[in-house]
Amino acid sequence: MVKKALLIGINRYEPELFNLPSAVKDVKAFQKRLVDKHIGQFQEEDVIVVLPEYDQKTQAETGELTEQSIQDWIYDFFTGRDKDDVLILYFSGHALINNNGTLFFAATDTKKYDTGGELIESTAIPASFIRQTMDDSQCENKVVILDCCFSGTIKDDYSVKNTVDIKAELGGSGRIILASSNSV
C-alpha cells in the first residue's frame, strides 16, 4: 500500500473570475499536515503540489495552470495505481456550475462568454472527467477534498442559480468526497 496525494491550488484567474489568494496557502498548509510524521505520515515525495507559480512536470516557473495541464496531472495521478493504494485529490480554487447544473473546476485560463456570462466549458475541468478517471483507476481507496468557492451559483438577486449533487458528480465505489461548502 502506498499513500499519495495530489494537491492543486489556483489563486489567479482570468478577469471573469475573482482571484483566491488563500488557495496557495491552503495547499501548502495541507501539504505540511500530510507530511507531518505525527499527523498524515505521508512521504514528502508522495505529495505532489501543483500551483500556478511552479510546474513540477516542466520544472519551470509558470503563471498558468490550464485545464489541459490539470487534466494531465489528474490522469497521471490516478493511472497505474494498485488496488490497496490510498489516493487523495485536493483542489483549492473555483468550482463552477453551468446552466445545466454540471460541475466544473476552474483553471487559471477558464473563461466565460461575454454575452450571458455562461462558462466556456472547454476552458474548465469537468467533474465527469475526474469521476471517469477515478472509475478507471485500479485503486479502491480514493479521497476527494474540494476546498472550493462555487462561483456562478448565485444570481444577481441572490437566489440560487443552479445546485449540484456532489455525490452524483464525483461519487463512486471506494470513494470519500469532502467539500468545504455546498453550492449555496
Query: 103-115 pLDDT, tens per residue?
Result: 999 999 899 888 8
Residue 80, all three cell numbers: 497505474
Query: What is this structure's pTM?
Result: 0.87
Q: What is the pLDDT of residue 115?
A: 83
Return mean pLDDT, the chain.
Answer: 85
Cβ-based neighbour number of residue 25 at 10 Å: 13
pLDDT of 32 strictly over 70: yes
Q: What is the mean predicted confidence (pLDDT) over 105-127? A: 90
In terms of pLDDT, which residue wins out, 178 or 152?
A: 178
Q: How far is the C-alpha of 108 from the C-alpha of 130, rounded, in Å? A: 18
Residue 183: the pLDDT is: 46
**Where does 11-111 show beta strands of DSSP type E?**
47-50, 54-55, 60-61, 86-97, 103-106
Q: How is residue 112 written as a grid cell?
A: 466565460
With bands split at pLDDT 50, 70 and 90, how would you rate the model's confidence at 98? confident
Mean pLDDT, residues 175-181 taken together: 84
**54-85 pLDDT tens trace:** 555 554 445 678 899 999 999 999 999 999 99
Percentage of the chain beyond pLDDT 90 is 56
Partners of 93 in the β-ladder: 148
